[in-house]
Amino acid sequence: MKNVGVIGGGTMGAGIAEVVARAGSSVRIVERDEAIAGAQQRIEKSLARAVKARRLSDDDAKATLGRITITSDLSTFADAELVIEAMPEIEALKVEYFTKLDEIVSPDAILATNTSSIPVIRLANATKHPERVLGMHFFNPVPIMSLVEIVTTLKADRAVVDKVTAYARDTLGKKTIESKDAAGFIVNALLIPYLLGSIRMYETGFASAEDIDDGMVAGCGYPMGPLRLCDTVGLDICLAVAESLYAEFSEPHYAPPVLLRRMVDAGYLGRKSGRGFYQY
């Protein structure tokens, strides 16, 4: 994959672009004009952290940055072999972009989505070649977390799935697992009820946020407590994923707690907005 496109340079898109560029591909990110500077900063900061932590040399960081360009012009994806979409979790927006992308990229380009919860087949069906559309579900922070869930659809071409799996594993150095196209895939279907349970526990005043988190870190050996993890993922994302799991399975443990909805209404989205269950 010499030329890779990424749509959206937010939390996930910036991380995906960084990892792809570190592996040697040229990456073009398509972002809204007003968010281009922010996306650039996100990548620079992340690379600076990697250099500081000695995970990356200064020269490699500069070379990585040199392989990334950010634009608002989707037509620059004409020569992309792979496009990874990481826009907000809004189905209509993603469908609109998959329809546009299908017109721009070459017929053998692969289109992937990083969606956490939207059925991939709905995005595939927005294109004329649904067999080349699949899910590549990265985890946050992308440069640190080793997993990519490869999501297949009823229409996906096995050769495309195998090619993307090999790319994620051998070139990007990620651990891959394969999931069917059901809400939550493997990890979120198991993780979200746990996170929602921690919010319900906090909401009822059963324990403080710190004690809930400390309990799971010190008692179960989790690297981060559930409420801090909600803040890290973004409460809007947690809500969107819970809503689609609930819509898919109609099981009460997927139902979003009222507090989660009200925090999102209030703009308390976690780390990215400066306030969630904790202040940042």
Determine, following the binding rule CB under 6 A, whether residue 274 of this chain makes contact with ligand NAI: no
Cis, bond preceding 141 (omega within 30 deg of 0): yes
Crossing angle of helices 187-203 and 235-249, rounded to 10°: 110
Judge whether 188 counts as a catalytic residue: yes
Sheet holding 133-138, edge to edge: 68-71, 26-30, 3-7, 82-85, 110-113, 133-138, 147-151, 175-179
Site for ligand NAI (CB under 6 A): which residue of 124, 233, 235, 242? 233
Which residue carries 């546009």 as its tokens? 100
Residues 95, 96, 98, 99, CA torsion sign: positive
Determine, following the binding rule CB under 6 A, whether residue 40 of this chain makes contact with ligand NAI: no
Determine, following the binding rule CB under 6 A, whether residue 197 of this chain makes contact with ligand NAI: no
Site for ligand NAI (CB under 6 A): which residue of 25, 46, 114, 176? 114
Question: What's the closest the beta carbon of residue 100 comes to ligand NAI, in angstroms?
Answer: 10
Determine, following the binding rule CB under 6 A, whether residue 270 of this chain makes contact with ligand NAI: no
What CA–CA distance (Å, rounded) separates 97 from 82?
A: 15
Q: Select 63 or 93, whichever has its Cβ closest to ligand NAI.
A: 93
Determine, following the binding rule CB under 6 A, whether residue 31 of this chain makes contact with ligand NAI: yes
Site for ligand NAI (CB under 6 A): which residue of 1, 84, 87, 156? 87
Determine, following the binding rule CB under 6 A, whether residue 88 of this chain makes contact with ligand NAI: yes
Site for ligand NAI (CB under 6 A): which residue of 89, 213, 231, 243? 89
Dig out the tokens for 121 from the structure.
């087949």
Judge whether 117 counts as a catalytic residue: no
Catalytic member of 149, 179, 198, 244: 149
Determine, following the binding rule CB under 6 A, whether residue 9 of this chain makes contact with ligand NAI: yes
What CA–CA distance (Å, rounded) separates 253 from 246?
A: 8
Determine, following the binding rule CB under 6 A, whether residue 17 of this chain makes contact with ligand NAI: no
Dig out the tokens for 103 from the structure.
């017109």
- Residues counted in the chain: 280
Residues lying near ligand NAI in the complex (CB under 6 A)? 7-13, 30-32, 35, 39, 86-89, 114-116, 137-140, 233-234, 237
